[in-house]
Structure 1
Amino acid sequence: MTAVGVPGLDVPDSRGRTGLDRVGRDLTGNPDVVVRDVELLASGWHVLRRTTFDQRRRDGRWTTEQRETYDRGNGATLLPYDTARRTVLLTRQFRFPAYVNGSPDGMLVEAAAGLLDDQDPASAIRREAAEELGVAVGALEHVFDVFMSPGSVTERVSFFAAPYTPADRVSAGGGLAEEGEDIEVLELDVDEALAMVDDGRIADAKTIMLLQWAVLRGPFRA
């Protein structure tokens, strides 16, 4: 009888990946956590795993825990700003997860962002700025790196800011149609963008973080 391989484990899945159940098994940085097993639950475009581990609590007791983690890779996001005109460049696009969880129309105003796709964060965000915003950005300022939803999603996002002028617009932007993107580019006064945070028109975490950084410690600080 011929053994049948499992895609993503011992035979390649649709993206050519194997060994997806090996991630996390060799972690040794925390002596109070011992990984016992990693199960592959799903491997569509991204990867869902269930990990069983022993954890020593603060009172010394050991317990066995299970956590599901969604691995979509790491990402980068960018806030382009023009201090002379006090403007920022953002996007508006449809987000189904927000739509199914209470957003009236699923249309979110966001900072440009994307997955790294095997690039370093700076190169990836330059790519996204060109694709989504139609802007060729110059010098990038690395703001911080953030785990956006550490209870269940492994993604770490690198945050950047960069100056721009109208002369830096090289295309209309809008994203890649072949990837299902249909992105509207918004140029907003920074004070209007902050007002949109206050009244809920901007409800995206990375965008709120970048706007608040911009006025507290970044280019628009008093």
Structure 2
Amino acid sequence: MTTAYGTTEPDSRGRTGLDRVGRNLDRNPDVVVRDVEVTSDGWHVLRRTTFDVRGTDGTWTTQQRETYDRGNGAAVLPVDRARGTVLLTRQFRFPAYVNDHPDGMLVEVAAGLLDEDDPETAIRREALEELGVRLGDLREVTAAYMSPGSVTERVHCYVAEYSPADRIEVGGGLVGEGEDIEVLELPATEALAMIDDGRIVDGKTILLLQWAALHGLVVGQHTQS
């Protein structure tokens, strides 16, 4: 019997049964899960799963894949249509920095993990913490897998309208969680231009800005007639 933390003994977050996740999957008759191994159970969980998969020619093969489970998240693009502005953040992202980003300072929409909340509650919380903005009606654009080759996370993406009166706090994130977030209020035209010139390279941010442009919520140089 294994006694590894997160399997039969609680890990640092009090979790057990981490090696059970995925074993009961049966929605796809062409995939049979054989084994799940927890290889890292830090704040998030890395698993190695062995499964049989039937190809289009009917042949079964055995494969192994590693999945990084950090939970699901939510993101929001606040738009002020009257003034033609959007609210974004800028913060240091080490994974981007170590993978060839010039300084690791990424411009992004506000976002965060759901933790124990539903997506709408979570993104209202994150918008207030990061941007200092109180969101009104939310419009869910999609729930997207941002890196499905290895990361399980699904991000619920929203657009919401705001006005200057809705900016009720300073924002900047939670110091206790090591956050040091700069709030950016930009003309939507500039934000869209930042995609073209490479100043915005974050996937969820590109998705939401382009969706807003396609649906007439923001106007950029490519959406003007």
TM-score (norm 1): 0.97
| 1:139 aligned onto 2:125 | no
The alpha carbon displacement at 1:220 in A equals 2.5
- 2:47 aligns with one of 46, 49, 52: 49
Structure 1 SS opposite 2:125: helix
Q: What is the match of residue 111 of structure 2? A: 113
Change (3 A) 1:218 1:49: farther
| Alignment match, 1:216 | 214
Counting only pairs closer than 5 Å after superposition, residues 55-204 of structure 1 correspond to structure 2 as: 55-204=53-202
Following the alignment from structure 2 to structure 1, what is the Cα–Cα distance between the partners of residues 134 and 102?
33
Q: Compute the TM-score of the two structures, normalised by the length of structure 2.
A: 0.96
Residues 218, 188 of structure 1: alpha-carbon distance in 2 compared, 3 angstrom cutoff:
same
- The residue identity in structure 1 corresponding to 2:184 is L
- Give the Å deviation of 1:158: 0.2
Structure 1 moving runs of 4+ over 4 Å: none
Contact 2:142 2:157 in 1 (8 A): yes
Output the CA distance in 1 between the equivalents of 2:192 and 2:126: 23
The 10-residue stretch of structure 1 (3-12 or 108-117) with the greater mean CA deviation from structure 2: 3-12
SS, match of residue 20 in structure 2: coil
Q: Supply the distance in 1 between the matched residues of 2:148 and 2:102 (Cα, whole angstroms).
A: 26
2: CA distance between counterparts of 1:146 and 1:217?
A: 18
Match of 2:203 among 199, 202, 205: 205
Distance 1:36 1:5 in 2: 20
Q: Which runs of 5+ in 1 are unaligned?
A: none
**One-letter identity of the residue aligned with 2:174:** L
Unmatched tracts of structure 2, length 5 or more:
none
Structure 1 residue matching 2:141: 3-state secondary structure: strand
Q: How far apart are 1:25 and its partner, in Å?
A: 0.2
Whether the 8 Å CA contact 2:109–2:204 is kept in 1: the answer is: yes
Distance 2:215 2:137 in 1: 18
What residue is the counterpart of 1:31 in the other structure?
A: 29
Q: What is the Cα deviation at residue 218 of structure 1? A: 4.7
